[in-house]
Every structure is written in C-alpha cells, then in structure tokens.
Amino acid sequence: MINGADIPGMMPEELSDLVANEGFPAYRGVQLFEWMHRKGVFDPGRMTSLPADLKARLAAGGPLLPLTVGRVLASSDGTRKLEMRLADGAVVETVLIPEGRKLTQCISTQVGCSIGCIFCRSGAFGFSRNLTAAEILAQVFAARDAWRDGEELTNVVFMGIGEPLHNYENTLRAWRLLTCDKGLDLSLRRVTISTAGVVSGIDRLGRDTQGQAALAVSLHGADEAVRQRLVPHLKHTVRDIVEALGRYPLPPRRRFTIEYVLVGGVNDSDADARQLVRVLSGLRVKVNLLPLNPHDRSDLQPPLPERVERFRRVLVDKGMSVFLRRRRGDDISAACGQLLGEQ
C-alpha cells in the first residue's frame, strides 16, 4: 500500500523498489522522484510520463506533500516567513532569505526544541516531536509558491526550529535528498547542518558523510559558565565540542561555521572575545557574529553597536575570519532566534 506522505522522504532507489513491489518497472520510481524533486510536481495527474494505473495508485495513497502552507509573512527587506501546518495540526516555520536572485531557505527539523537556549523563542513550547524526512523536505517544496520571479534556491540551512542532530536519521536523509544529483542537486557546500553542540551527532555526521556535510556549531560562549547559562539543557562542554570538531574529517579548503549570538552584558566582553580565539585555535573556522534579535519571550538585549564592533575587532586582530550577520526579517519575527512553532 502506497502512503503518499512518506514518498517525498524516499531516495530514488527506494522509490524504484516501491513501484516494483506494486508491479511496475523499477525505472518508474526514478521518474517519480524526478517529477517531485526536480520539477516540483506533486499532483500525480500532472506526471505525464507515468502510466495511468500508477498515477491512480499514487493518488489513492493520499497527498504527496505531508503539510500545507498557512500564513505567509513578507518583511520590508524581502525575507518571507511561511507557516507549515503538519497533518497532526502542529505548525513549524520556514524562512526564505533573498540575496538578489539567490534564495537561502532556513528549514525546521522538530516541532519545538529541547535545547532551551535562553535567547531563542523556538523552545518556548518545549519539545513535541521530530519531523520526518518527508516533512523536512516538504518545507522546501511547499515554499516554491512563495518564490518571486527570477529567484532560485541556492542554499538550504538546517537552522530553523529544533536541534537537527537530535533528529539525526531524518536530518541525514533530508541532507542526502537535497544533494541528490537526480533531484535538486544542491552543492554540498550550500547545505548546512547546524547544531548547538551535540557531540555524538557531530561524530556520526563525520563518519556517515565523510565530512562532506557543511557543519555550523552554535557555540555562543567560550567560557564554560557563560555557555551553560545560555544553553542550559545541553551538557556537552565547550571542550567536548571543540574536540569533536577536531575529529571531524573536514575536507581541504573547507571550514566550520561558528555561530555566536552576542547578548548584551553576558558574552560580549573583550575577555569573551579573547577566550573565543583561544578555544578555536587550531580549527579551520569562520565566525558568524549575530547580535541578539529581541523577542517577546525574553528580556535579554543585544549589545550596543560599538560593543559589537569591538568584539569583532578583537577577533579580526587575532587573524580570525569574522562575518557580522545582518538582521533579516525581524519585523515579521523571522530573524535568527525568533521562530516560534506551535504544538
């Protein structure tokens, strides 16, 4: 029996096996994959190269997209936030961020989040459940209707709601599907998996992808006490995380991304900057500095602009590659740390 909701999360060879078990030639599975992943078609009736009886069986299995799009909010800077309503009524959010004609999409991997970073809205309802690989991928497919003329999806970041490495198997499968040459065929460099520092997941990802998965680590504090204050429910130490990065089989000319949210009066001092340099010494990294995006679930505030610049300068003077992330979509609560799904 074909279950439509599972199909977007299946690899080409799995779809070939599925249709073969239904009595059709295996190559029909690859055609089905290409209709969805390459052409963005999820209505079996429009899959003109498939035989009528296979299209009928697909239609009988229910919708091929396991979610529907709710509200679409547009920011004054061009960023768009889309609500994705799942079959059980839960809602997650995904964000489209344009740079000229190029689009980056930020996707969610869980309903809620158990990490509990104190500056982030996403854990406000706690953790509910993991998304399936099909639900993760469906965010990309369903968002196509919100693309504007001439836009092209070039980057996907697993940085929405949830901790991707706490949903490891589905995250890895979604990564494989996004980079599959029979589908979207996104560059390995342009699909980034983010983690708050789940050491076991970092090790597994290194082994399972031979280090090809682009990895971003949300560190937020180089001092142990500061890190534990900001990320209270993840007990891996800064040293644990750095050692895991040291074990990761990073390919030549590739770097880790270190995400560092600057919180006023908490982790933004010159001493914090110098400690960050010491901790990351010996690793190939680029540091993304993100001044805190305020929201209604926290009283924390970003540093003053001059403090941000001073922190950045300390890192640059020590030879580090540093990028100051521009705030995008904060007028629609779409900026980093502002997403809020509902159970």
**Terminal Cα-to-Cα distance of the chain (whole angstroms):** 29
- What is the DSSP annotation of 92-139? EEEEEEEETTEEEEE---EEE-SS--TT-STTTT-EEEEPPHHHHHHH
Point out the catalytic residue in the list 106, 113, 120, 336.
Answer: 336
Interacting residues of 140 by C-beta distance below 8 A, sequence separation 6+? 94, 105, 107, 153, 156, 178, 184
Backbone torsions φ then ψ of 130, nearest 5 degrees: -80, 150
93 annotated active-site: yes
Tokens 């998996």, residue located: 193
Q: What is the DSSP letter of 311?
A: H
| CA-atom Rg of the chain in angstroms | 21
Alpha-carbon gap, residue 111 to 252, rounded angstroms: 35
Question: Which residue in 14, 83, 93, 117 is the catalytic one?
Answer: 93
Q: Which residues are annotated as catalytic? A: 93, 336
